[in-house]
């Protein structure tokens, strides 16, 4: 009897020790996910796969790591659910083929361990913008100016094709934010200030983005465009701040884009860093679980933003529990992915995370992996023949043309005569980095024009001039040889919080450094002045515009920006773009837009929807 009791105690000790150290043991010794099922993973039902997974493996499926912090071998050992490349994160060989090779290394590792294939995610927000040589399209704010859903479908389709060519499964796009205050550094990621633009464009864009079996993601759920600049709780930061808003306004302005995206087939939704009336969205169960998953019946994956759960109350395990319990299925934990797995396991074991919540999350993840054929076709056969094709560049060039907004044209100085000698001035005349803005090769973009292949304004103008016996002059000292001056000013590249700007003047923190010098130089020439602005949002130009004969807002037109701008300024195409946001006269009008109860078109510099043509 004593001997039997001793054996029982030893067994209990061993079992309890295994449970306590479960994560370490299961990650050091790869355990085939389907060890208890004889069928290949590709032939199993979602329910079978989930039921035969250990708790540790389920937890691992719910975590997404950044490629720089997890090797293919570690991905296999832990059975990680997803890997991503953050902004600017790319393989050493940053070519389409290099990306495909990296992707296959991860998936091959998973196959060797009989693990579930990973989902690999990127922010391909205006082209496959992490990849060198990709076609970079105008940012969303410019696409909003086009008001052309058919064009959005074609752009989405090209992005999907380029992303799929490199093996990537998951695109963290589109942003369906409805920007309400242009001081926000993510203004250019929004299609505009009125929900009608999201309703018009999102469906076509999502359908295009999913054409080549790539998951589309509507972000950032919800109300990220409504955050206040003067929010003391977030240190007077508008990015990741607080939206003080009624439920009626939240759903009327900020929900339509999500409805359109879900109905069009977006199978992922990313949660916003920001808060709604003081409650961080990453712990907002009422909106994520009850509303999104319950009332709207969204069946895809809800993913967190980059380390966003770290902003929740409590220690890390408490933060993970709050986020998972709110309804987030996959945790984007680029660096603390191991700790996140452990936190989920411990949360279930200590009762702070219901196992039903974990099973729901993993079921959603496996279901999406099944839907997008990860089990059948986990590897990619690289075919770069269509990547950054000439046809893709033509569509990008068309997008530039249709996004341009003509705001002033006194004396009909535009269109430019092709045989005119033009003085081209300003910091933006010969820089593809400025044309592309943020999320272009790097998270914050790059000011180095040599890094992004494309066509600059100078190059495009010189091509027209050369074909017509004219000259492009860049030295203001030779202004007497020119017929007209074209001035190119605007904002330097930025993303997210770095782009928050409280003044938006031509010499403010996001402005191109020599804007004012170029403005003065143009004025001193005595020539008619055509000003082109490269920027992610309106800037305060009420005083300066008086001295310009024509003014064109070009937004952030991308790699084919120079060619598209030349097409329209030289008159081969007409202006069709309309303002997707209100252009304020001064800083007192920040946050004043078409949704304001007292909106008065006469009170602003240019109202929402304004745009001239020839």
- List 26, 154, 305, 442, catalytic entry: 305
Q: Are 570 and 416 in contact (CB under 8 A)?
A: yes
Sign of the Cα torsion 204, 189, 276, 120 reads positive
**Which helix (DSSP H) or strand (DSSP E) does residue 551 occupy?**
strand 550-553
CA dihedral 205, 207, 213, 216 (to 10 degrees): 50
For residue 305, indicate whether it is catalytic.
Answer: yes
Catalytically annotated residue among 317, 402, 491, 496: 496
Structure tokens at 410: 């006194």
Residue 196 falls in the annotated catalytic set: no
Residue 359 burial (10 A CB sphere; 0-12, 13-18, 19+): middle
Contacts of 210 by beta carbon, 8 Å cutoff, 6+ apart: 156, 160, 216, 264, 265, 266
Do residues 362 and 58 make contact, with C-beta atoms less than 8 angstroms apart?
yes
Whole-Å CA distances, 164 to 100, 303, 452: 9, 21, 21
Using CA atoms, how far apart are residues 484 and 391, in angstroms rounded to an integer? 33
CA-based nearest residue to 424, from 374, 474, 467, 463: 474
| CA contacts within 13 A on the Cβ side of 567 | 21
Q: State the DSSP string of 576-588.
A: ----SS-B-SSGG
Residue 3 CA to residue 8 CA, distance in Å, equals 9
Of the candidates 413, 447, 415, the one whose C-alpha atom is nearest the C-alpha of residue 431 is: 447
DSSP β-bridge partners for residue 218: 269
Structure letter (DSSP) for residue 113: T
Q: How far apart are CA 330 and CA 369, in angstroms?
A: 13
The residue length of the chain stands at: 614
Residue 303 CB-half CA count within 13 A: 34
Burial class from Cβ neighbours inside 10 Å (0-12, 13-18, 19+) for residue 199 reads middle
Q: How far apart are CA 198 and CA 240, in angstroms?
A: 21
Q: Are 120 and 169 in contact (CB under 8 A)?
A: yes
Which residues belong to the active site?
305, 496
């Amino acid at each position: 009897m004593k001997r039997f009791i001793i054996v029982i105690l030893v067994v209990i000790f061993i079992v309890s020790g295994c449970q306590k150290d479960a994560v370490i043991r299961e990650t050091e010794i790869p355990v085939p996910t389907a060890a208890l099922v004889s069928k290949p993973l590709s032939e199993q039902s979602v329910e079978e796969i989930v039921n035969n997974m250990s708790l540790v493996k389920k937890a691992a499926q719910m975590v997404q790591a950044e490629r720089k912090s997890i090797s293919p071998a570690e991905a296999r050992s832990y059975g990680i659910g997803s890997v991503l490349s953050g902004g600017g994160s790319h393989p050493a060989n940053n070519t389409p083929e290099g990306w495909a090779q990296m992707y296959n290394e991860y998936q091959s590792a998973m196959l060797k361990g009989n693990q579930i294939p990973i989902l690999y995610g990127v922010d391909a927000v205006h082209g496959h913008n992490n990849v060198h040589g990709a076609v970079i399209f105008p940012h969303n704010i410019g696409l909003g100016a086009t008001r052309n859903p058919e064009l959005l479908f074609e752009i989405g389709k090209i992005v999907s094709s380029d992303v799929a060519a490199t093996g990537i499964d998951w695109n963290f796009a589109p942003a369906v934010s409805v920007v309400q205050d242009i001081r926000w550094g993510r203004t250019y990621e929004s299609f505009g200030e009125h929900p009608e633009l999201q309703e018009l464009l999102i469906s076509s864009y999502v359908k295009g983005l999913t054409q080549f079996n790539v998951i589309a993601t509507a972000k950032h759920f919800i109300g990220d465009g409504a955050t206040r600049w003067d929010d003391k709780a977030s240190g007077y930061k508008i990015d990741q701040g607080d939206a003080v808003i009624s439920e009626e306004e939240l759903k009327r302005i900020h929900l339509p884009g999500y409805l359109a995206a879900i109905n069009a087939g977006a199978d992922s939704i990313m949660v916003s860093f920001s808060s709604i009336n003081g409650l961080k969205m990453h712990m907002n169960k009422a909106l994520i679980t009850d509303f999104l998953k319950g009332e709207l019946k969204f069946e895809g994956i809800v993913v967190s933003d980059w380390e966003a759960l770290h902003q929740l109350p409590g220690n890390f395990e408490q933060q993970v529990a709050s986020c998972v319990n709110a309804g987030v299925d996959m945790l984007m934990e680029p660096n603390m992915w191991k700790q996140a797995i452990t936190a989920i396991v411990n949360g279930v074991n200590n009762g702070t995370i219901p196992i039903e919540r974990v099973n729901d999350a993993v079921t959603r993840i496996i279901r999406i992996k099944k839907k997008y054929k990860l089990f059948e076709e986990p590897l990619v056969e690289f075919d770069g023949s269509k990547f950054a094709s000439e046809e893709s560049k033509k569509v990008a060039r068309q997008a530039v043309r249709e996004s341009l907004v003509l705001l002033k044209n006194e004396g009909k100085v535009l269109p430019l005569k092709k045989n005119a000698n033009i003085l081209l001035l300003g910091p933006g005349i010969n820089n593809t980095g400025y044309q592309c803005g943020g999320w272009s090769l790097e998270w914050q973009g790059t000011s180095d024009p040599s890094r992004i292949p494309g066509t600059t304004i100078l190059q495009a103008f010189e091509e027209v001039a050369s074909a017509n016996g004219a000259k492009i002059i860049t030295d203001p000292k030779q202004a007497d040889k020119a017929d007209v001056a074209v001035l190119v000013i605007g904002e330097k590249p930025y993303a997210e919080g770095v782009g928050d700007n409280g003044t938006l003047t031509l010499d403010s923190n996001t402005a191109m450094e020599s804007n004012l010098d170029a403005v003065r130089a143009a004025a001193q020439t005595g020539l008619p002045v055509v000003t082109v602005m490269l920027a992610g949002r309106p800037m305060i130009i009420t005083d300066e515009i008086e001295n310009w004969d024509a003014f064109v807002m070009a937004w952030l037109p991308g790699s084919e920006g120079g060619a598209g701008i030349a097409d329209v300024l030289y008159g081969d195409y007409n202006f069709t773009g309309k303002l997707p946001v209100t252009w304020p006269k001064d800083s007192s009008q920040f946050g004043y837009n078409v949704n304001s109860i007292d909106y008065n078109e006469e009170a602003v510099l240019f109202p929402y929807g304004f745009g001239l043509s020839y």
